[in-house]
Amino acid sequence: MTDLSKHSQEFTIGSFDSDWHGNAKLTSICNYLQEIAGNHVDKVGQGLHDLSQNNHAWVLSRMRIKIIRPAKWKETIRIETFPTGIKGLFGARDFRIFDKDDQIIALASSYWLVVDLKTHRPLRPHDTVKHMPIGHHTEVFNEELEKLTPLTQEAELIEEIKIHYSDIDINRHVNNVKYLKWMIDAFPHEILTEKPISEIELNFLHELKLGEQIQIYQELSDENHMNCKITSKTTGKENCRARIIFNNINS
């Protein structure tokens, strides 16, 4: 009998998903996670089309990713995902990423809101999650995903960007992975060469739409920890907040 409480897929790292070191881009890994999560909820009848019948949708609110080792160009990886229940207003979902030898190379956890598409307000997820097959799977992190601390007034404005058509997804707002791309692209390439990202935690706070102007801020917590945020210059709202941990390969 098929175990519907978890779902797995294989992905092969293409050249378009690799950085100049031949490692899988973190943004590509996030795209894989988003894809497999969507495929799993489709499989159990709780996907985008199913929820839209009641004018509801899943919205990613929090995510944490820990890279144990980067996947490589042309490498085939297997991602396993499973829901882990309700955390307050959130439906929680975890991920494990394996190499061909079934060794874990990355872990991820995510919290999702069920949102009313008419009012844009979150709903209690119990009516949706109660239909989700939840097995006895060990959560990948011991800690729950918390709301990240706001940046201070000393945070530095690094870059301003206008949102374009290609940034918009099927829900007609900016895709979650774009926030991560903008934050990473704002770093000098020398930092990412000397200190690749080993862990990242994100809070998605408000949606962004086509034509808005965004501002990217950075604040160094210590030599291996960077806090970032994205705000809309158009609306004045903070849209995304992140904590990034670097792996100092020279230490």
Which domains can be identified in the chain, with CATH numbers? 1-142 (3.10.129.10), 147-251 (3.10.129.10)
Q: Under DSSP, is residue 12 helix (H, G, I), strand (E, B) or coil? A: strand
Among 95-99, 172-176, 214-218, 231-235, name the one with the lowest average pLDDT: 172-176
Do β-strands 122-123 and 90-98 pair in parallel, antiparallel, or remain unpaired? Answer: unpaired
Above 50 in pLDDT, residue 241? yes
Query: How confident is the model at residue 249, as a pLDDT?
Result: 59
Q: Which pLDDT belongs to residue 1?
A: 55
Bridging pattern class, strands 76-87 and 238-246: unpaired
Condensed to tens digits (0 to 9), the pLDDT of residues 32-68 reads 999 999 999 999 888 888 888 888 889 999 999 999 9
Give the Cα separation of 153 and 68 in Å (integer): 33
Give the type of residue at 149.
Answer: T
Q: Report how far residue 228's alpha carbon sits from residue 221's, in angstroms, rounded to the nearest whole number.
A: 10
- How many other CB atoms sit within 10 Å of the CB of residue 170? 8
Please say if the pLDDT value at position 188 is more than 90: no
Check pLDDT > 90 for residue 99: yes
For 108-158, write each residue's pLDDT tens digit.
999 999 888 888 888 888 877 777 788 889 999 999 999 999 999 999 999
Report pLDDT for 250.
Answer: 53
What is the residue-averaged pLDDT of the chain? 92
Per-residue pLDDT band at 103 (split at 50, 70, 90): very high
Tally Cβ neighbours within 10 Å of residue 54: 13
Q: What is the mean pLDDT of residues 71-95?
A: 95
Please check the confidence at residue 251 and state whether its pLDDT lies above 60: no
Report d(CA 83, CA 7) in Å as an integer: 10
Mean of the pLDDT values across residues 20-27?
Answer: 94
Query: Whose structure tokens read 């990240």?
Result: 148
- Match 């950085």 to its residue by tokens: 19
Instruction: Determine how β-strand 122-123 pairs with β-strand 156-162.
Output: unpaired
| Greatest mean pLDDT among 3-7, 19-23, 25-29, 188-192 | 25-29
